[in-house]
Structure 1
Amino acid sequence: MVAALVRVFLGVELEQQFNEPYLSTSLQDFWGRRWNIMVTSILRPTVYEPVIKLSARFVPRRWAPIPAILATFVVSAIMHELIFYYLGRMRPNWEITGFFLLHGGCLMAEIAFKKALGDKWRLPRVVSTPLTVGFVMATGFWLFFPQLLRCRADERVFEEYAAVATFVKNVTGLTTKTFQFKLSTLES
């Protein structure tokens, strides 16, 4: 939705944020190629790749991604804890960190499993996709979303939208009907 609004009002095309995450066949596919692509493109060169280079000094290169994955998920967990603290000004209960550490641990196990067995053993897409998406959703509802609700993020989003609308109305002097008319003519 944000990309569409930016395209309409500013004429700028934003980089793709998600790549059909509901089609993920593994956690590696979900986190590495489909979910929040911009954050992945930031964390890969800043955390993941430097830790791989460092790890390769101590463990065989083949296994160097394992500690790099853990480091990346720890950084992501800390970033999310800070975001949630900023949103709610509530003391962390570490559910968000638990979510990211659980996913990081499961992703490390998945990659180790794939490296140990190779491509010989792979679940069919019809099985792997529901398992992956189901796991992400179940752990999200268990550990991630309750924190969003506790800090009233849903209410704050609507308050922000109302504040932006009021600002636009005050700056442009548009009435709601005029604004809706101009918006509809821009879309056509």
Structure 2
Amino acid sequence: MTRYLLGKEVEPHFDKPYLSTSLQNFWGKRWNLMVSRILRSTIYEPIRYYLTPLLGRRWTLHLGLVTTFVVSGLMHEMAYYYVRRERLTWELLWFFIIHGFCVAIEVVVKKIALKSGPRLHPIISTPLTVGFVMVTGFWLFYTELIYFGADIKEMEELMALSHCVKQIWPALRRKL
């Protein structure tokens, strides 16, 4: 729509996340690409750059990954707090902490698998990845939305929009 209205090409925010073959692939190359780039350049890369001389490449890789996910979780908690103005449940933060540690573990497992040979075929790895994201998402993310009442508020907004369109439609129809 932006390209049509403004004549400008917009970078995509997602790249078929349902085809993710790993959590690393999901978070780094398929889900919310703009935020991934921002977090990579502001959290992950500075940690790697400044702490590698102290801790070594391997440990700063894992520290950078987990810290990036923690920051993302805190940002989500902050956004929910500003919308709800209620006590935080920290479920969103736990979602990102779990995913951060799982990505760090996945990096280690991939390195070991490269040395030993066989890798999971996408027919197996894609459902495992998407399933893991969905299960943890429903468990920690979606329940937060339900607790917040976002589903009810969304339905109320859709009903209000429907009512507005019903009132405006006859006038628009006459003009067309």
TM-score above 0.5, yes or no:
yes
1:51 to 21, 33, 47: 47
Superposed, which structure 2 residues align to 1:115-130 within 5 Å? 115-118=111-114, 120-130=117-127
Aligned to 1:25: 21
Scaled by the length of structure 2, the TM-score of the pair is: 0.84
Q: Counterpart amino acid of 2:15?
A: N
1:17 alignment partner, SS class: coil
> What is the RMSD computed on CA atoms of the aligned residues?
2.8
Task: Tell me if the contact between 1:84 and 1:147 (Cα under 8 Å) persists in the aligned partners.
Answer: no
Q: Distance in 2 between matches of 1:103 and 1:91?
A: 23
Question: Number of matched residues?
Answer: 172
Q: 1:40-62 deviations in whole A, cap 9, x for unaligned? A: 01111001100111231123324
Aligned to 1:175: 168
CA shift for structure 1 position 136: 0.3
Task: Tell me if the contact between 1:70 and 1:104 (Cα under 8 Å) persists in the aligned partners.
Answer: yes
Aligned to 2:70: 74
1:142 paired to 2:148: no
CA shift in 2, pair 1:77/1:180, >3 Å: farther
Aligned to 2:148: 151
User: What 5-or-longer segments of structure 2 have no aligned partner?
Assistant: none
Q: 1:111-136 deviations in whole A, cap 9, x for unaligned? A: 12222342623111100000000000
1:92 to 71, 88, 91: 88
Q: Counterpart amino acid of 1:98?
A: W
Q: Counterpart amino acid of 2:19?
A: L
Task: Tell me if the contact between 2:113 and 2:119 (Cα under 8 Å) persists in the aligned partners.
Answer: no
Deviates more, 1:153-162 or 1:80-89: 153-162
Q: Percent of pairs identical after alignment?
A: 46
Q: Distance in 2 between matches of 1:41 and 1:74?
A: 16
Q: Counterpart amino acid of 1:148?
A: L
Q: Distance in 1 between matches of 2:171 and 2:35?
A: 38
2:145 alignment partner, SS class: helix
2:53 alignment partner, SS class: coil
Q: Counterpart amino acid of 1:152?
A: G
2:103 to 103, 107, 123: 107
